[in-house]
Amino acid sequence: MSISGAVAALLEHASNNALVPLGCAVPDPGLLRSQRLDLALARMARQHGAGHNVYSPPRGEAALRREIAKRSMRAGHALSPDDILITGGCTEALMLALGAVAKPGDTIAVESPTYFGLLHTLEVLGLKALELSTDPIRGVDIAALARVLDKETVAACVLSSGFSNPLGCAMAEGDKRLLLALLAKHAIPLIEDDVYGDVHFGRERPKPFIALDHGKNKLIYCSSFSKSLAPGYRVGWIAPGAYAQRVMERKLAFSLSTPVLPQLAIAQFLDGNAYDVHLRRLRRVLEENLGKMVRAIEASFPPGTRVSRPTGGFMLWLELPKHFDSRALFDEALENGICFAPGDVFSASRRYRNCLRLSAGHAWDERMDSGVRRLGQLARAQLVS
Query: Applying CB under 6 A, which residues contact ligand PLP?
Result: 25, 89-91, 115, 117, 160, 165, 193, 195, 224, 226, 231, 236
For residue 321, the minimal CB distance to ligand PLP (Å) is 27
CB nearer ligand PLP, residue 89 or residue 240: 89
For residue 24, the minimal CB distance to ligand PLP (Å) is 8
Bridge-based pairing of strands 355-359 and 107-112 is: unpaired
The closest of 231, 279, 236 to 27, measured between CA atoms, is 231
For residue 370, the minimal CB distance to ligand PLP (Å) is 25
For residue 50, the minimal CB distance to ligand PLP (Å) is 28
For residue 373, the minimal CB distance to ligand PLP (Å) is 25
For residue 300, the minimal CB distance to ligand PLP (Å) is 26
CB nearer ligand PLP, residue 181 or residue 256: 256
CB nearer ligand PLP, residue 11 or residue 143: 11
Angle of CA points 367, 289, 301, to nearest 5°: 65
* Surface-to-core class of residue 292, CB atoms within 10 Å of its CB (0-12 exposed, 13-18 middle, 19+ buried): middle
Taking the CA of residue 144 as centre, how many other CA atoms within 13 Å lie in the half-sphere pointing to its CB? 13
Which amino acid is it at 291? Answer: G
Please check whether residue 286 is in contact with residue 360, taking contact to mean a CB–CB distance below 8 angstroms: yes
CB nearer ligand PLP, residue 96 or residue 379: 96
CB nearer ligand PLP, residue 218 or residue 227: 227
CB nearer ligand PLP, residue 236 or residue 241: 236
For residue 266, the minimal CB distance to ligand PLP (Å) is 12
SS3 letters across 182-213: HHHHCCCCEEEECCCCCCECCCCCCCCHHHHH
CB nearer ligand PLP, residue 115 or residue 243: 115
For residue 341, the minimal CB distance to ligand PLP (Å) is 10
CB nearer ligand PLP, residue 217 or residue 223: 223
Please check whether residue 248 is in contact with residue 85, taking contact to mean a CB–CB distance below 8 angstroms: yes
Residue whose Cβ sits closest to ligand PLP: 89
